[in-house]
Structures are given as structure tokens and as C-alpha cells.
């Protein structure tokens, strides 16, 4: 799927396929983490692996208010235990399909929001 909203100064999502995501400046293999300042491939491959400990290395380098998690073709959700643990970090978390996650990320990034995108 291709997206039309683009900004050369940010890590805007240009397109996404089943195995890769293309940003303004780089193409990454999925799974990956993207913020306004960083884009990197990661080892977290499933929703069940998401904990405060696995996210800390990603979140410690950016000041984020919201993390959007792309869960594949269909929306899947964190367990209540995971939601409580992540809320303790003061971080809003939303789970949705990869296409919806990329669209939401681009929109929030263009509004200069402190948002991160985790694509699984």
C-alpha cells in the first residue's frame, strides 16, 4: 500500500508491504520501530513479546506520548496486563492493522506529535 502524505524532513511512511516498509529516506524490513528521529529494524516479532523491558531501549532515546503498534493485516490487541504495564510508563498505546497504523503515524507526525510506530 502506498501513502501520499510526505515530508522530506521526517520519517514519513511512503509504502508498506508484507515484509518491508519504505520511509522518505530508507527502507526497513519488518519488524521495525520508527519515530520522527529514528528508524530501525528490531527483534520484537509478536505482540506477546511487548513488555516495558523490551520497549525501554526504543523509548529511552525518544520522548514519546503515543506508541502506535501495527499488528499485521488485522488488528490484534495487547493483553490487559500488558496495557497496565505500559500505562505505567506514561505512554499511550494504540494497536491497529499495519495500514491503519502507518496512516495514523503519518497524520500525527505531520501535526508534530511525539509519536512512535512499531510495525510487527
CATH number at residue 99: 3.40.1230.10
pLDDT for residue 4 = 57
Neighbours of 69 (CB within 10 A): 24
Which residue range(s) make up the domain with 27? 13-119
pTM (predicted TM-score): 0.91
Residue 96 lies in a domain: yes
| C-alpha cell read off for 96 | 491497529
**Cell numbers describing residue 49:** 513479546
Q: How many domains does the chain have?
A: 1
35-87 pLDDT, tens digit per residue, is: 998 999 999 999 999 999 999 998 888 889 999 999 999 999 999 999 999 99
Amino acid at each position: 500500500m502506498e501513502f501520499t502524505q510526505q515530508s522530506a524532513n521526517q520519517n514519513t511512511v511512503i509504502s508498506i508491504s508484507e515484509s518491508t516498509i519504505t520511509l522518505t529516506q530508507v527502507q526497513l524490513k519488518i519488524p521495525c520501530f520508527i519515530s520522527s528521529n529514528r528508524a530501525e529494524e528490531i527483534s520484537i516479532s509478536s505482540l506477546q513479546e511487548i513488555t516495558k523491558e523490551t520497549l525501554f531501549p526504543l523509548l529511552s532515546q525518544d520522548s514519546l506520548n503515543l506508541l502506535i503498534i501495527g499488528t499485521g493485516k488485522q488488528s490484534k490487541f495487547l493483553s490487559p496486563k500488558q496495557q497496565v504495564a505500559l500505562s505505567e510508563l506514561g505512554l499511550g498505546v494504540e494497536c491497529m492493522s499495519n495500514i491503519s497504523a502507518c496512516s495514523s503515524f503519518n497524520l500525527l507526525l505531520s501535526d508534530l506529535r511525539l509519536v512512535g510506530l512499531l510495525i510487527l
